[in-house]
Structures are given as structure tokens and as C-alpha cells.
């Protein structure tokens, strides 16, 4: 039976079910199509013919990517530096060594990072698509999803402003009773 806290949260949050797609504006639709198909393995899917602008839809891994041809491609800023703290989308993989080998073969520049949390290691590889949008490939599934203990501020964990104590308590109460969070467990740092 759902408690009042969970019901209250459901009534205030939007009734979402999943992430459907991300939409990216590109300098060259052809270059972006080539990248998302041949580097990331997305497949083209049917796009509504009633659209009056150039674009393409792709799908794989349970997510869609909608590419939109920019009306002013010269206005899209070029990004040179690979900054893991930039906006990005992240994909899980089975072998980071194979990803790294393939990126080297394709001549794609990347930055590699390792995050350690409580003896758990997460390997990350970051690179850009043709328009400078950041892509991350990782083994992030190694990190368990653990709600923060009641009273622990998200701001302290992630350097964000604001107290989310009430939401943290609601998350803890809404999770299965089998999930037990103790003060000894450390939080996962945000990247």
C-alpha cells in the first residue's frame, strides 16, 4: 500500500514514464547521421513527412535521437576542449577497452576519467559529436543508486544550492522497504 508521502509526491510531479528522445541541432545533417549511425550504432527510423524542415530520426538502446539541420550552421559554436563537466548524454558499454580501441581507429579524440567511490571504480570516456555535443561512454552501472539519508543535503554532495531534505525523505519512504540506507554509507558524487 502506498503511503501518503508517496501519493503526495505523485500528485506534485509530472506523470512521466520514460525518456523518449533528445533533439540536437547540427551543422551538417549528413555528418551527424554518419556519426550517430557509424560511431554510436543508431538506426534511422521513419520521421513524419509533414515536417517542413530538414532532419532525421534515429533510434537504439531504448532512446531516440532527433537530428535537426540548423538554418544557420555557421552560428553553431565549435568546441575544441573536451570538458567532462559539459552537458552530455551517457551510454553504458560492456568493454571500455574495445570502445577506446575503436575511437583510436576512427581518429576520434577523447578524454578518459576514472571515478572511485567507496572502492567502486567507474571508467568514463568523453568525446564530441561533429557539432561539439559531448558523448560519454561508461560503466556507470557499477555504482549503486542509493538515496541520500534524511537530513543530508544534496547541496553538500553536488555543490548545488538548496535543501531537498523533504524530497530525500519522500524518496526513502517510496523505495522498497528492502532498501536500507545507513549513515555509514557514503553518497555518490555527481559528475
Q: What is the pLDDT of residues 97-138, one digit of tens each?
A: 999 999 999 999 999 999 999 899 999 999 999 999 999 999
Residues 6+ away with beta carbon under 8 Å from 1: none
Q: Which domains does the chain have, with CATH numbers?
A: 19-76 (3.10.180.10), 77-143 (3.10.180.10), 146-191 (no CATH)
Of 10-14, 35-39, 56-60, 179-183, the least confident? 179-183
Rounded Cα–Cα distance for residues 132 and 113 (Å): 19
What is the model's pLDDT at position 100?
Answer: 97
The reported pLDDT for the residue numbered 15 is 95
Inter-residue long-range contacts of 142-145, CB under 8 Å, 24+ positions, other chains counted: 143/117, 143/188, 144/120, 145/188
pLDDT-based confidence at residue 86 (cuts at 50, 70, 90):
very high
- Residues identified as active-site: 136
Residue identified by cell 547521421 is 33
Amino acid at each position: 500500500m502506498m503511503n501518503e508521502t508517496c501519493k503526495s509526491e505523485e500528485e506534485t510531479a509530472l506523470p512521466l514514464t520514460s525518456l523518449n528522445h533528445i533533439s540536437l541541432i547540427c551543422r551538417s545533417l549528413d555528418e551527424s547521421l554518419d556519426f550517430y549511425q557509424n560511431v554510436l550504432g543508431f538506426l534511422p527510423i521513419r520521421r513524419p513527412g509533414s515536417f517542413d524542415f530538414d532532419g532525421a530520426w534515429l533510434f537504439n538502446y531504448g532512446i531516440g535521437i532527433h537530428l535537426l539541420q540548423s538554418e544557420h550552421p555557421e552560428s553553431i559554436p565549435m568546441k575544441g576542449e573536451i570538458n567532462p563537466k559539459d552537458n552530455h548524454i551517457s551510454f553504458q558499454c560492456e568493454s571500455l577497452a574495445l570502445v577506446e580501441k575503436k575511437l583510436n581507429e576512427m581518429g576520434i579524440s577523447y578524454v578518459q576519467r576514472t571515478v572511485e567511490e567507496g572502492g567502486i571504480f567507474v571508467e568514463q570516456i568523453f568525446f564530441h559529436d561533429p557539432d561539439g555535443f559531448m558523448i560519454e561512454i561508461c560503466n556507470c552501472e557499477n555504482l549503486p543508486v542509493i538515496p541520500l539519508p534524511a537530513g543530508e543535503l544534496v547541496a553538500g554532495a553536488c555543490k548545488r544550492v538548496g535543501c531537498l531534505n523533504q524530497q530525500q525523505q519522500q524518496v526513502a519512504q517510496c523505495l522498497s522497504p528492502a532498501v536500507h540506507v545507513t549513515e555509514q554509507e557514503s553518497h555518490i558524487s555527481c559528475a
